[in-house]
Structure 1
């Protein structure tokens, strides 16, 4: 029953393809492996160097480590899920899918793209609520665009989001345990003018 609802919602969203070429082109760009992920990566790089004083910069730098760790652990969980369970992509399992993207060959569920984007957004949200909200919106648009272009079912995106939102609080606990080490690494990096 849930699988049928997932497919029906996918087909409803994907049926929007072809009605507005400008929106199709925009969604293709948004769904790419580059625009949103690179934008989020550049945000993390900026956080590394931005801060009104040393204390704020330290907080941002620790937050960047948190976001990167949440991203890496979320990707690891997705990798393990994909090794244990393979779900075909919508274009492989359904007829009449309008595909506006290349054909990925890995498992559709859970979405690594969504897990990574939401893990970064959640990690940043922990240190900067306003920027975190902006990244959550970007991650949501990214996830929706991946459905729109035909490479993910809605449940794939929700699965990736769930992984990120479970992993990020665990990452915060790990960060708290490793805080003295993180602070020491950042102080050494500052000696070499890279932090």
Structure 2
């Protein structure tokens, strides 16, 4: 009778996303990646924990600013700058979309359901699916790609590293990270046509402003005699050879 009651309790509790590490590839991969902490020095674990929590997101913000300083020097930078404006906006929208998703799925953090995980960051009490960090990172990376492919590829690479770190730290399942990548990418790309249609005219208007135009176009230094290579004055042959006239008279 007790067995029947326990089975009924498990059934009424709803489906469990990850309960058995031996039969669930998601949990198997979690243990494999997080298990790498046992062979790494403690200082490296602390460094990865800091990088995964703060460092990579800061690096992506710096990358956006670096791209901005680069594209401003182009002859027509309005479209690229509009793409850079869209990147953080898309990241913010994706995180807002994730709020109801987390509330609907209600997936606990992996360290709450599975023993033996090395937890590198403490204090995580919210739900696990989908990863906010993975969502933010990939939205910024894809937004960068919309503005500039070279910087975008670097940004996407940092986002992938962010996802690995979240699993390594023991705070997310692999599917949490994949879901974050999908959410960040979908939000950025699906809304990009509308966002660019609205942002490009705004950025173009700012570029024409005498006061705020430097935000879009890099100001060029005014031309002065010191900065302009003036052609050397041509010297007449007679002036170059003052004795030439005397020689003609003498002849």
TM-score over 0.5 for the pair: yes
In the TM superposition, residue 48 of structure 1 has moved relative to its aligned partner by 2.9
Are residues 83 and 187 of structure 1, via their aligned partners in 2, closer, same or farther at CA, if it must alter by over 3 Å?
Answer: farther
In the TM superposition, residue 92 of structure 1 has moved relative to its aligned partner by 0.9
Cα distance per residue 1:108-167 (max 9 Å; x no partner): 100110011000000111122121111111111111011001000000000000101111
* RMSD across aligned positions (CA): 2.1
Q: Tell whether 2:105 aligns with 1:85.
A: yes
If the length of structure 2 is used for normalisation, what is the TM-score? 0.70
Q: Tell whether 2:174 aligns with 1:154.
A: yes
**Aligned counterpart, 1:99:** 119
Q: Is the 8 A contact 1:69 1:171 kept in 2?
A: no
**Aligned counterpart, 2:80:** 60
Q: Tell whether 2:219 aligns with 1:184.
A: no
Q: Tell whether 2:34 aligns with 1:14.
A: yes
In the TM superposition, residue 187 of structure 1 has moved relative to its aligned partner by 4.4
Separation (CA, whole Å) in 2 of partners of 1:70 and 1:166: 10
In the TM superposition, residue 176 of structure 1 has moved relative to its aligned partner by 3.2
Separation (CA, whole Å) in 1 of partners of 2:89 and 2:114: 36
Are residues 6 and 46 of structure 1, via their aligned partners in 2, closer, same or farther at CA, if it must alter by over 3 Å?
Answer: same
Q: Which structure has the larger Rg?
A: 2
In the TM superposition, residue 98 of structure 1 has moved relative to its aligned partner by 0.7
Cα distance per residue 1:1-42 (max 9 Å; x no partner): 98421111101111111212154234223212x211111112
Separation (CA, whole Å) in 2 of partners of 1:76 and 1:69: 11
If the length of structure 1 is used for normalisation, what is the TM-score? 0.88
Between Structure 1 and Structure 2, the one with more helix by share is 1
**Aligned counterpart, 1:69:** 89
Q: Any stretches of 5+ residues in structure 2 without a counterpart?
A: 1-15, 19-23, 216-251
Match of 1:39 among 29, 34, 59: 59
**Aligned counterpart, 1:126:** 146
Separation (CA, whole Å) in 1 of partners of 2:206 and 2:105: 38
Could you say what secondary structure the match of 2:38 adopts? coil
Separation (CA, whole Å) in 2 of partners of 1:74 and 1:24: 29
